[in-house]
């Protein structure tokens, strides 16, 4: 029996005043790879935002890693995010620093002190995503796929218990999408839990896994036909 | 190719910092000049107040010992700046020069009295004080009369009050402008980094951790701006002092140093607080609100 890392019970999610999702019941266990699919505007991003504390949870019960989303205080949000790794569609790298500095910033921000350890960790995560030799470059000098790899490396820095990927392949061409997907699959095999929002059905077919669907204000599990 | 790009980028960055530094420097410079004005307004008004003369007319019968004693006691008094004994011969001489004719020619004798001119310290030039001093002197039986221009004193005090009030009001407005101008420059600088700030939050940095480098950078700009302002003030002060040595601008070095220190501290405090508020604003926004 694996332990749930994410547990939502009767959660309603609002964007402003309008209801986006209601009565959401989701459970994700350690080591899972879960897709979250749905058309744009069905609440995938709002769902993700609620999980990393960018939208407050006002209705229902939610537990993620060791935090209770319902009682989450503003000052706890940074500490919640340190236990999650978030990967965005638009990468969100710091454009004015090199890849290495991007990663070092996160380490410094999350309380790492030892220079040698920090450099070693940066090298470690970069080699995991196959970007070990590109650390000196600025984000704008990298291709989209490379930037996304760096973003994934950044998400891995603090050994997160759950990686939230919000359409990580949304800005990438099919070939690069598959490369990024391979990286995520690899990470998942090493024991990291991943929740990935996407509308790229080709990927679902190629890498089938547990899938949640957002539609008409509901989130429900869909069963994929194999073969 | 990329080195050219970086050069352009850097130049662009430097010029945007430059405008922040410049606006801080100019505003603090103006504020400093105003401060100098305030400091020296007191000096100028004191200068005028100390021109007020209280003349003690002595009777013919007054003995030299008594006069000497009065002079001594006046010189010792804490409200007196300087005294001057004017004999009636000197007074006649003075009048002669003033009028261009010798009135003794048609009066036949010198009707003037021996007198002591008393200059008071500026703080004591008020009607009440003058009255008290006059009373004290008149009570002596060898003193004939004490005169001073009461209307002039009242007028002067009133004007000084009015002018100081307006100088204070203007200083207040200037300080406000300083804060607003510096604040808006810094706000723009922080605003341009709002997505960076959000990204930093997304990866688990605490607000304080994100804010610190911003505040430190602005304070550094503030220090540079304040230093420029101080250099400007120094140059103005040096030249004014050279052109108008009678204003004695540097006679109280402590005040000048204090003014410089205040301007410098203001540069730091204003940038500190502005950056704190500006970054806090963007730190507290939800991601969706950043696009407005």
Round the average pLDDT of chain A to a whole number and report it.
89
> Would you state the pLDDT for residue B129?
82
Candidates A193, A191, A192, A170; CA nearest to A180 is: A170
Residue B228 in tokens: 């420029």
> Would you state the pLDDT for residue B1?
46
> Would you state the pLDDT for residue B241?
87
> Would you state the pLDDT for residue A42?
86
List all residues 6 or more positions away from A164 whose beta carbon is below 8 Å from its beta carbon: A48, A51, A52, A84, A85, A86, A87, A195
Shortest distance between the Cα of B183 and any Cα of chain A, in A, equals 24
Contact A78 B2 (CB under 8 A): no
Chain B residues lying within 8 Å of A95, measured CB to CB: 196
Q: Which helix (H) or strand (E) holds A222?
A: strand A218-222
Shortest distance between the Cα of A110 and any Cα of chain B, in A, equals 6
CA B23 to chain centre: 22
Please determine, for residue B251, whether its predicted confidence score (pLDDT) is greater than 80: no
Chain B residues lying within 8 Å of A93, measured CB to CB: 199
Beta bridge partners of A213: A37, A220
Coil vs helix vs strand at A225:
coil
| Per-range mean pLDDT, top range of A160-164, B85-89, B130-134 | A160-164
Averaged pLDDT, B217-244? 92
| Backbone dihedral angles phi then psi of residue A195, each to the nearest 5 degrees | -115, 120
- How does residue B70 score in pLDDT terms, banded at 50, 70 and 90? confident
Buried residues in A119-133 as b, exposed as e (16+ CB within 10 A): eebbeebbebbebee
Please determine, for residue B69, whether its predicted confidence score (pLDDT) is greater than 90: no
Which of A160-164, B11-15, B110-114, B221-225 shows the lowest mean pLDDT across its residues?
A: B11-15
Shortest distance between the Cα of A96 and any Cα of chain B, in A, equals 9
Rounded Cα distance, B250 and B237, in Å: 8
Query: Do the Cβ atoms of A21 and A11 come closer than 8 Å?
Result: yes
> Would you state the pLDDT for residue B24?
86
Rounded Cα distance, B4 and A163, in Å: 38
> Would you state the pLDDT for residue A211?
92
Please determine, for residue B28, whether its predicted confidence score (pLDDT) is greater than 50: yes
> Would you state the pLDDT for residue B192?
85
Please determine, for residue B9, whether its predicted confidence score (pLDDT) is greater than 70: no
> Would you state the pLDDT for residue B195?
87
Greater pLDDT, B164 or B232: B232
Residue A13 in tokens: 């999610």
Contact B205 A109 (CB under 8 A): yes
Residue B16 in tokens: 């945007």
Query: Do the Cβ atoms of B282 and B194 come closer than 8 Å?
Result: yes
Averaged pLDDT, B29-48? 81
Q: Which helix (H) or strand (E) holds A36?
A: strand A33-37
> Would you state the pLDDT for residue B61?
82
Candidates A152, A155, A94; CA nearest to B213 is: A94
> Would you state the pLDDT for residue B13?
65
Q: What's the ipTM?
A: 0.86
Chain A residues lying within 8 Å of B199, measured CB to CB: 92-94
Given its phi and psi angles, is residue B138 left (phi above 0), alpha (psi -120 to 50 degrees) or beta?
alpha
Helix axes B2-49, B150-191, angle to 10 degrees: 170
> Would you state the pLDDT for residue B12?
67
> Would you state the pLDDT for residue A103?
94
- How does residue A107 score in pLDDT terms, banded at 50, 70 and 90? very high
> Would you state the pLDDT for residue B74?
83
Candidates B241, B270, B249, B252; CA nearest to B174 is: B270
Chain B interface disruption, residue of A15, A92, A93, A160, most B CBs within 10 A:
A92
Shortest distance between the Cα of A225 and any Cα of chain B, in A, equals 36
Contact A94 B196 (CB under 8 A): yes
> Would you state the pLDDT for residue A2?
64
CA A90 to chain centre: 12
Rounded Cα distance, A98 and A25, in Å: 41
Query: Do the Cβ atoms of A132 and A53 come closer than 8 Å?
Result: no
Residue B213 in tokens: 């480098």
Nearest to B287 among A54, A75, A93 (CB): A54
Chain A interface disruption, residue of B204, B206, B289, most A CBs within 10 A:
B204
List all residues 6 or more positions away from B67 whose beta carbon is below 8 Å from its beta carbon: B58, B85, B114, B116, B142
């Amino acid at each position: 029996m694996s332990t749930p890392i994410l547990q939502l019970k009767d959660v309603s999610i609002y964007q402003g005043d309008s209801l986006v999702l209601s009565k959401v019941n989701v459970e994700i266990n350690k080591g899972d790879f879960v897709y979250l699919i749905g058309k744009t505007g069905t609440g995938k991003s709002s769902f993700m935002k609620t999980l990393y504390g960018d939208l407050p949870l006002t209705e229902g019960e939610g537990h993620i890693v060791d935090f209770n989303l319902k009682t989450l205080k503003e000052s706890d949000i940074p500490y919640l995010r340190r236990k999650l790794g978030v990967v965005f569609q638009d990468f969100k790298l710091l454009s004015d620093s090199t890849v290495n500095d991007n990663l070092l910033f996160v380490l410094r921000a999350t309380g790492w002190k030892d220079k040698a350890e920090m450099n070693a960790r940066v090298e470690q995560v970069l080699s995991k995503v196959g970007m070990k030799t590109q650390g000196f470059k600025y984000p704008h000098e990298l291709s989209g796929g490379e930037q996304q790899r760096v973003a994934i490396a950044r998400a891995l820095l603090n050994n997160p218990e759950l990686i939230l990927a919000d359409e990580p392949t949304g800005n990438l061409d099919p070939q690069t999408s598959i490369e990024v997907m391979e990286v995520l699959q690899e990470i998942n095999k090493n024991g990291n839990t991943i929740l990935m929002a996407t509308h790229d059905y080709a990927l679902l077919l190629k890498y089938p896994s547990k899938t949640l669907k957002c539609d008409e204000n509901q989130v429900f599990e869909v069963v994929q036909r194999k073969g | 190719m990329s080195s050219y790009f970086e050069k352009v980028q850097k130049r662009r960055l430097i010029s945007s910092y430059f405008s922040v530094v410049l606006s801080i420097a100019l505003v603090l410079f103006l504020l400093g000049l105003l401060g100098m004005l305030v400091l020296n307004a007191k000096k100028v008004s004191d200068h005028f107040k100390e021109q007020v003369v209280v003349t003690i007319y002595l009777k013919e019968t007054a003995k030299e010992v008594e006069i000497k004693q009065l002079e001594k006691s006046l010189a010792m008094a804490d409200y007196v700046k300087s005294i001057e004994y004017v004999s009636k011969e000197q007074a006649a001489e003075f009048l002669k020069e003033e009028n261009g004719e010798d009135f003794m020619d048609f009066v036949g004798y010198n009707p003037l009295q021996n007198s002591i001119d008393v200059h008071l310290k500026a703080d004591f030039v008020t009607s009440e004080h003058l009255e008290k001093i006059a009373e004290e002197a008149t009570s002596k039986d060898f003193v004939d009369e004490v005169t001073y221009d009461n209307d002039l004193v009242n007028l002067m005090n009133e004007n000084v009050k009015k002018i100081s009030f307006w100088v204070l009001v203007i200083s207040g407005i200037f300080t406000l402008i300083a804060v607003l101008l510096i604040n808006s420059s810094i706000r723009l600088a922080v605003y341009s980094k709002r997505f960076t700030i959000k990204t930093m939050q997304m990866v688990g940095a605490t607000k304080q951790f994100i804010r610190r480098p911003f505040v430190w950078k602005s304070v550094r700009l503030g220090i540079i701006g304040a230093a420029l302002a101080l250099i400007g003030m120094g140059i103005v002060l040096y030249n004014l002092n050279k052109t108008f040595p009678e204003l004695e601008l540097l006679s109280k070095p402590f005040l000048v140093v204090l003014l410089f220190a205040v301007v410098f501290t203001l540069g730091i405090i204003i940038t500190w607080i502005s950056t704190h508020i500006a970054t806090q604003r963007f730190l507290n926004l939800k991601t969706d609100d950043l696009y407005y």
